[in-house]
Amino acid sequence: MNPRTASAAAFAEAKRIIPGGVNSPVRAFRGVGGEPFFVNRAEGAHIWDIDGNELIDYVGTWGPAILGHAPEVVVTAIRETAARGVSFGIPNPLEIEMARLITQWIPSIQKVRMVNSGTEATMSALRLARGFTGRNKVVKFEGCYHGHVDSLLVRAGSGALTHGEPDSAGIPRAFSDLTLSLPFNDTQILRDVFAREGGEIAAVILEPIPANAGLYFPQPGFLEELRRLCTEHGALLIFDEVMTGFRVARGGAQELYGITPDLTALGKIIGGGLPVGAFGGRADIMDRLSPDGPVYQAGTLSGNPLAMAAGLAQLKELERVNGWKRLEELGATLETAMSDLLRQQNRGMAFQRVGSMFCLFFTGGPVLNLADAQRSDREAFGRYFHGCLERGVYLAPSQFETGFLSLAHSEADLEKTARAIAESVNASWR
């Protein structure tokens, strides 16, 4: 590896004019120590930093790059669309095409509205749920991250968790007082809360597969009971599928588990790498949105033609090549390699995967919720992260993030990755 002198200089300059030197906190490497590198270009499953180092990338711009970086179909769609105009602020046919595709692939979504980020999608879905039900309280789960929405930064995941400040400053206590944060996978506590406050709960929002505190999964019966309780008490069930939508399956996590939410938040993959978000669900709920209903929501760049074109190109290519089958094959190959590694280790580690999403926890035993994830040895993870980085493999710079495979990853990439991980794991324990 070349010394990262250019990245060090760039970071020093960035800190002078950008808070913390980054435009999103987890990029600052605070969870693993050291300083971030700066990227010059990305292609396929590889990225190159400004010092000329080549890395196999498992961050994939935090999920959207499911085809890999700069896929030809997406780049061509952006180029051809940009030649006709980059933004209109007026309805365009691509918005209809994207809405049609989403409603066809995710049956629970009868109507959908485009926005510009996952945060905007979850924020709007919550406002709509409150407007529809006439209630104020919201249930969320510890470790589930739904963007930097004020009322949801309570025991959150992702960057908030990494930096040890899940309850952000600047949020009035009254906002968080309306949010009930529960442990994931604890059905009894969920029943108790609904028995006590069910008539005041507007919605329950969750990542059906939590992927912002590492990666863990709903236990059998948990989602089914959640659906039953929401229906019984007249609360709306909101699935945050910003990460899992169109990644773990064509119809997202709700297809995998056979659960029908009332509202769904989407993002990442549906923009092909451009800023995007969407929320949708039952028609009677969505019809409460302005201009037809009293719940206001708007956005100057919503349905931006570049994002719509890029997302449509990516989704159509995924379906054309049956990308989910190939991603499962790649994930299984990586999991086999990791299982072999863990059998050789006499230390506490847990590897978790669904499809093309994965996480290595530096803790033994099952990881079923945030408390389990937080038992991880973060110092060991930091050494492991830097060991992989120096061996040409870039993973998310936090124990509490998820890795992503893409269709651009090759068998050779996975072989090199397995070697790098094995060597880095061996060197990480002290």
Residue 71: which residues within 8 A CB-CB, separation 6 or more?
A: 314, 317, 408
Dihedral of the CA atoms 7, 9, 15, 18 (nearest 10)?
-70
- Tokens describing residue 376: 């991880």
Contact 264, 109 (CB under 8 A): yes
Q: Tell me whether residue 268 is one of the annotated catalytic residues.
A: yes
DSSP assignment of 81-136 equals HHTT-S--SS--HHHHHHHHHHHHH-TT-SEEEEESSHHHHHHHHHHHHHHHH---
Q: Which of 240, 262, 372, 377 is catalytic?
A: 240
Q: Which of 49, 51, 137, 268 is catalytic?
A: 268
Q: Tell me whether residue 240 is one of the annotated catalytic residues.
A: yes
DSSP 265: E
Q: Which of 145, 216, 257, 394 is catalytic?
A: 145
* 3-state DSSP assignment of residue 41: strand
Contact 307, 276 (CB under 8 A): yes
Q: Sign of the C-alpha dihedral, residues 195, 168, 276, 92? A: positive
d(CA 36, CA 278): 30
d(CA 203, CA 138): 5
d(CA 427, CA 421): 10
- State the maximum Cα–Cα separation within the chain, in Å, rounded to a whole number: 62
Task: Let me know if 310 is exposed, middle or buried by CB neighbors in 10 A (0-12, 13-18, 19+).
Answer: buried
Alpha-helix residue ranges (DSSP H) falling in 178-322: 187-197, 222-233, 253-257, 283-286, 305-320
Helices and strands (H, E) in the chain, number of each type: 15, 14
Backbone angles phi, psi at 84, to 5 degrees: -100, 0
d(CA 310, CA 13): 32
Q: Tell me whether residue 145 is one of the annotated catalytic residues.
A: yes
Alpha-helix residue ranges (DSSP H) falling in 234-304: 253-257, 283-286
Task: List the end-to-end C-alpha distance of the chain, in Å, as a whole number.
Answer: 24
Task: Classify each residue of 225-237 as buried b or exposed e, where b means 16 or more C-beta atoms within 10 Å of its C-beta.
Answer: ebbebbeebebbb
The residues annotated as belonging to the active site are 145, 240, 268
